[in-house]
Amino acid sequence: MDHGNYDNEPNQKINWHIIRIVWPYLMEYRQRVLLALGCLVLAKLSNVVGPFLLKYIVDALDSEKAQLVAAPIALVLAYGLARFANVLLGEIRDTVFGRVTERAMRKIGLEVFRHLHNLDLDFHLNRRTGGLSRDIERGTTGISFLMRFFVFNIVPTFIEIFMVVGILLYKYGWGFALITLLAVVLYTWFSVAATEWRTKFVREANLADSASNTRAVDSLLNFETVKYFTNEEFEAQRYDHELGKWEQARRKNRLSLFSLNGGQAFIIAAAMTAMMWLAAVRVTAGTMTIGDFVLINAFMIQLFMPLNFLGFVYREIKGSMANIEKMLQLLEVRPSVNDRPQAPALAQGSGAIVFDDVSFSYRPDRAILKRVSFTIESGHKVAVVGASGAGKSTLVKLLFRFYDLDSGRITIGGVDISSISKHSLRSAIGIVPQDTVLFNDTLFENVRYGNPQASDEQVAEAIRLAHLDSFISQLPDGYQTRVGERGLKLSGGEKQRVAIARTILKRSPILVFDEATSSLDSKSEQAILKALREVARGHTSLVIAHRLSTVIDADKIVVLDQGEVVEQGTHEQLLDKRGHYAQLWFAQQKEQQQALTV
């Protein structure tokens, strides 16, 4: 009898190729698997022996020798022992095999997690977090279900069916065996056909479930934005709309489940009635004992109890395979930015960074950078400025090699970054981003994230150098203050100081500051700028800036306009040119003066 589980999405044919993927996990613990299978066989034997013991008990009690109670008592004890052995062996089997499924779930879950972190920035920008997490959860759970139910439910049930049919044929003739076989075949056919029919309803329920879950996660992740625009009711209505579709899908699913369970119950009742009628006729005729009647009844109950779950198990196995396949499709997504075979690590003491004729576009129909060329000498600070949308932040993504170039090259110390390992490249670059995202952990652990192997003393020193210690000393919980999801409990300036402390702790030779002060007030900006100058001393630095007043001390300023380098030079040189930079400078100075007079 199907229980109407909604966690899977059996919307396709069973892909038996998945068994080959699961097989290595079974073979890794072959001794445990063999022990579990041994317990399974013994449990099935005790299951078949049980009805025979019940028959002998009834016959012994029904005979004239019933007063000799020793034999019935011994049979009763034997029956109890057989029932206990069946349950105990099943528990031992599940316990032994549990280690196999848990390890398989752990290994493949870790593999998917690592793979997702290895995928391109594009994948993560376009993903839906709620739906993705549900796919991974369903996939790993599907592996457990597939391994457990296929090995320990479907296969042993059909083994027991053939054993019982054989016993009935041998001991009681073809009538009982034929009714049993026909009932099992009809039940199996109906369960599979009805399950296939109701697949679309289950799929609708799962799609609605995923959609409502994604909507809830997306809304809660953007909690602050919802509050800014007072859109709590709007979000609630959107969520309720998704829940309405989920409710309707569940209703259809429930009605189809009623049809499935009703049909299964009718087939079982008809078979049991036919068997009992035939047995009753034989007992009346004297060709069978009361014990034989009880034995046949016990066999039928034992057979149809596991068959009751056939529709559920079939759909779950099919759904598990579909869910595993969905998760494996994630593993088949290949990153477009890959290391070359045996790519070497970036040498220490990296040297000058050169953007050499770099062109790049996210889409073929819109160029972002057009033949950009400039050099950051080792130990120097170079600022890139320009209007919004000029391509400034794209330079950072390309330096980190989140994307490959359309043409040109970027070199560090004369070595093309596409020829070295991404890990060593990114390890050599520390960044203070425009929007610092923190983990929902303590302040101390968020700073330690810059170097997870750092000692407590090193983390405390980084906090001091970032001038974060005075702020922390005012907090009731100090270092152990939790920052909230995505750092919502901290101000922009406080989060930037955490980012600076992280970067100090990382101790990278190259530093990138991506509009690190753009969201701060003047007082906070000056404090952060002072800390940034201290951090950048002696490092090769790339500064992306919108406010020109923050980069007047740069060794060189590169002016970008619509993806092209239009000017390069120091602050004074660029002002003398009276070009793009001078126009931006005077416009921002005017804005600042107007803001002061307001």
Confidence of residue 142 (pLDDT cuts 50, 70, 90): confident
**DSSP string for 463-524:** HHHTT-HHHHHTSTTGGG-B--GGGTTS-HHHHHHHHHHHHHHHT-SEEEEESTTTTS-HHH
Whether the per-residue pLDDT at 556 is higher than 90: the answer is yes
pLDDT of residue 86: 72
- 361: tokens are 């576009």
Higher-confidence position of 527 and 587 = 587
- In DSSP terms, 57 is beta-bridged to none
Please say whether the beta carbons of 433 and 397 come within 8 A.
no
Mean pLDDT of 150-156: 68
| DSSP label of 154 | I
**SS3 labels along 431-447:** EECCCCCCCCCEHHHHH
**Out of 56-70, 266-280, 320-334, 536-550, least confident range:** 56-70
Mean pLDDT of 437-464: 87
Mean pLDDT of 272-291: 84
What are the pLDDT digits (tens) for 171-185? 888 888 888 888 888
Give me the phi and psi of 554, to 5 degrees please. -65, 150
Same domain? For 161 and 275 the reply is yes
pLDDT of residue 9: 43
Same domain? For 421 and 475 the reply is no
Whether the per-residue pLDDT at 301 is higher than 80: the answer is no
| DSSP label of 150 | I
Same domain? For 132 and 257 the reply is yes
Cα–Cα dist 298/276, whole Å: 11
Cα–Cα dist 435/388, whole Å: 16
Same domain? For 489 and 557 the reply is no
Q: What is the mean pLDDT of the chain?
A: 79
User: Which of 357, 263, 325, 414 shows the shortest CA–CA distance to 138?
Assistant: 325
pLDDT of residue 125: 66
Please say whether the beta carbons of 302 and 73 come within 8 A.
no
- In DSSP terms, 545 is beta-bridged to 385
pLDDT of residue 51: 72
Domain of residue 478 covers 430-507
Residue 200 is assigned to a structural domain of this protein: yes
Residue 454 is assigned to a structural domain of this protein: yes
3-class SS at 407? strand
Whether the per-residue pLDDT at 69 is higher than 60: the answer is no
Residue 410 is assigned to a structural domain of this protein: yes
Give me the CATH number covering residue 123: 1.20.1560.10
Higher-confidence position of 43 and 4 = 43
Distance of CA 153 to CAs 82, 150, 158, 312, 470, Å? 20, 6, 9, 11, 63
- 119: tokens are 């995928």
What are the pLDDT digits (tens) for 562-572? 889 999 999 99
Residue 533 is assigned to a structural domain of this protein: no
Same domain? For 214 and 276 the reply is yes
Confidence of residue 532 (pLDDT cuts 50, 70, 90): confident
Residue 534 is assigned to a structural domain of this protein: no
pLDDT of residue 432: 85
Cα–Cα dist 379/509, whole Å: 9
What are the pLDDT digits (tens) for 408-421? 999 998 889 989 88
Same domain? For 315 and 362 the reply is no
Cα–Cα dist 436/324, whole Å: 35
pLDDT of residue 487: 61
**Out of 59-73, 294-308, 364-378, least confident range:** 59-73
Mean pLDDT of 522-539: 74
pLDDT of residue 354: 93
Residue 441 is assigned to a structural domain of this protein: yes
Cα–Cα dist 425/397, whole Å: 12
Cα–Cα dist 218/230, whole Å: 16
pLDDT of residue 20: 67
Distance of CA 364 to CAs 127, 299, 359, 392, 560, Å? 21, 70, 12, 19, 20
- Indicate the burial class of 23 (C-beta count within 10 angstroms; 0-12, 13-18, 19 or more): exposed
Mean pLDDT of 225-230: 82
Give me the CATH number covering residue 469: 3.40.50.300
The DSSP bridge pattern shows strands 415-416 and 407-412 to be antiparallel
Same domain? For 151 and 93 the reply is yes
Same domain? For 316 and 436 the reply is no
Cα–Cα dist 382/392, whole Å: 12
Same domain? For 417 and 353 the reply is yes
- Indicate the burial class of 146 (C-beta count within 10 angstroms; 0-12, 13-18, 19 or more): buried
Mean pLDDT of 335-356: 81
507-536 per-residue burial string, b: 16 or more CB within 10 A, e: under 16:
ebbbbbbbbbbebbeeebbebbbebbeebb
Residue 551 is assigned to a structural domain of this protein: yes
Whether the per-residue pLDDT at 167 is higher than 90: the answer is no
Last residue of a domain, one of 287, 302, 332: 332
Cα–Cα dist 216/205, whole Å: 16
Mean pLDDT of 20-24: 69
- 232: tokens are 């709590």
Last residue of a domain, one of 489, 507, 525: 507
37, amino acid identity: L
Same domain? For 118 and 41 the reply is yes
Same domain? For 495 and 420 the reply is no
Most confident of 29-33, 38-42, 363-367: 363-367
pLDDT of residue 522: 67
Residue 11 is assigned to a structural domain of this protein: no
- What percent of the chain clears pLDDT 90, i.e. is strictly above it? 7
When divided into structural domains, the chain yields a total of 3
Last residue of a domain, one of 507, 531, 563: 507
User: Which of 576, 519, 574 shows the shortest CA–CA distance to 546?
Assistant: 519
Cα–Cα dist 166/235, whole Å: 62
Whether the per-residue pLDDT at 43 is higher than 80: the answer is no
What are the pLDDT digits (tens) for 346-397? 877 667 899 999 999 988 888 889 999 999 998 899 999 988 777 888 899 9
Same domain? For 421 and 479 the reply is no
